[in-house]
Amino acid sequence: MRIGLRWPSRLHTLGVLALLAGALVLAGCGSATTAQAAATATTTPTVTPTVAPTGTIAAPTNTPSGSQAAVSVKGGYGGFSFSPSVLTVKVGTTVTWTNTSSAPHTVTSDTGVFNGSLGGSGATFSFTFTRAGTFSYHCSIHPYMKATITVTT
């Protein structure tokens, strides 16, 4: 039993010695550079947005409250799509499509009213609807991508 009692005592002593040695090493490494790094790490960077937010789309009706609306071009393993695929806006509304996938896309009106190219991720195309009606459109690169915008007065 005596051996069993000495072993934890030795482990405890070794642990305390290791802790003290680590503290001495850290104390010997202190310098102005370390103090500056610590001060720098605690500062919070200031981020200034470069683009003001545009309008919002109310989720239940997909009708924007202002004169701007947004459509995302989504993609990935599940396929590409316009989101929302059905949108209702008022005359005078500017709709901006943003490509959130890495593949190129188009925003092509079925009747030739508008045609925009979305080269890659982050590319945008905007169109202002000046008359009421229903405007169906698609991606000419991926013809299965279809959507509709209804413009009301």
Residue 36 placed within a domain? yes
Residues 77 and 129 in one domain: yes
Q: What is the largest CA-CA distance in the chain?
A: 95
Both 33 and 102 in one domain: the answer is: no
The answer to whether residues 136 and 73 belong to one domain is yes
Q: How far apart are CA 114 and CA 105, in angstroms?
A: 14
The pairing of beta strand 146-152 with beta strand 86-90: parallel
Residue 76 forms part of a structural domain: yes
Cα–Cα distance for residue pair 137/73, rounded to 1 Å:
13
- Model pLDDT for residues 93-113, shown as the tens digit of each residue: 999 999 999 999 999 999 999
- Predicted confidence at residue 62, as pLDDT, reads 54
pTM: 0.57
CA-to-CA distance for 134 and 69, rounded, in angstroms? 16
Question: What is the structure's pLDDT at 77?
Answer: 73
**Domain with 81 in it: what CATH number?**
2.60.40.420
Number of domains in the chain: 2
Domain identity same for 73 and 146: yes
Residue 72 lies in a domain: yes
What is the rounded CA–CA span in Å between residue 72 and residue 51?
A: 17
| pLDDT tens track for 122-144 | 999 999 999 999 999 999 999 99
Please tell me whether residues 35 and 92 are part of one structural domain.
no
Q: Which domain holds residue 101?
A: 68-152
Q: Which residues of the chain have pLDDT under 70?
A: 1-66, 78
